[in-house]
Amino acid sequence: MNPLPLWERVVSTEGANRVRGRNSRDAGPLTRFLASLGTTLSHKGRGEAMSMMRSLNLLGPFTRLGLVVAAVVCALDQALKLWLLFGFELAARGAVAVTPFLDLALTWNKGISYGWFQQEGPLGQWVLLALKLLAVVLLWIWLARVANRLAALSLGLIIGGAIGNGIDRLAYGAVADFVHFHVTTATWRFSWYVFNLADVAIVAGVIGLLYESLAGERAAKAP
């Protein structure tokens, strides 16, 4: 059975007819009507989706920019994690020194970014996942209302990082962290939280929002 809708099969048939050198008018008025109906429904569906997003305050002048940034961040984060987990096999290698102050060391984080609010049970993990989903929705609404590219870029970084870590939690029950920054001297040692690319994106996004807020206040106070 052909899974395509009737009008898509009609369009495909007409395309084949044109390749064979036939005139599309030979297909008859019913064929032309169904093809036209398919095109109309396709455009109408996209228009209704855009209208629904606007009515839900999910579409603004810089929403597309923010969502593209979020998608790129999430894709990079997941690609790096998949390579480290299954290509590089970081778990079997243990700590791998990259520089004297930076190691790759796999840690499964059952809390939020940088290991805060650890949750051991499945209920706690689902609660964190639900909170993350709520945060993404609220950030998207905020994204739809921003008035400049810096704010949209910053929110996109945060949304992409949150989704990347959320995918980890859904797939593995914990977030894969792997970057360990540390400094060791003869008399002093500093060890930072183990983090990942998504965490870096979230922190960068927060810094961008703070800068945008402060710059906006200075611009408003300027004579």
DSSP 129-147: HHHHHHHHHHHHHHHTT--
pTM exceeds 0.75, yes or no: no
Give the pLDDT confidence score for residue 177 in this predicted structure: 94
Q: Are 38 and 8 in contact (CB under 8 A)?
A: yes
Res 9: pLDDT: 44
Structure tokens at 18: 């044109």
HSE-up (13 A, CA, CB side) for residue 192: 16
Q: What is the DSSP code string of 154-200?
A: HHHHHHHHHHHHHHHHHHHSSEEEEEEEEEE-SS-EEEEEEE-HHHH
Residue 154 near residue 69, CB atoms below 8 Å: no
pLDDT at residue number 24: 43
Q: Are residues 151 and 136 in contact, defined by beta-carbon separation less than 8 angstroms? A: no
Position 160 scores a pLDDT of: 98
CB 65 within 8 A of CB 159: no
Residues of the chain with pLDDT below 70 are 1-57, 111-122, 124-125, 217-223
Measuring CA to CA, how many Å separate 182 from each of 100, 194, 197? Answer: 8, 10, 17
pLDDT reported for residue 58: 82
Q: Running DSSP on this structure, what letter comes out for residue 105?
A: E
Report pLDDT for 74.
98
Would residue 177 show up in a list of annotated catalytic residues for this protein?
yes
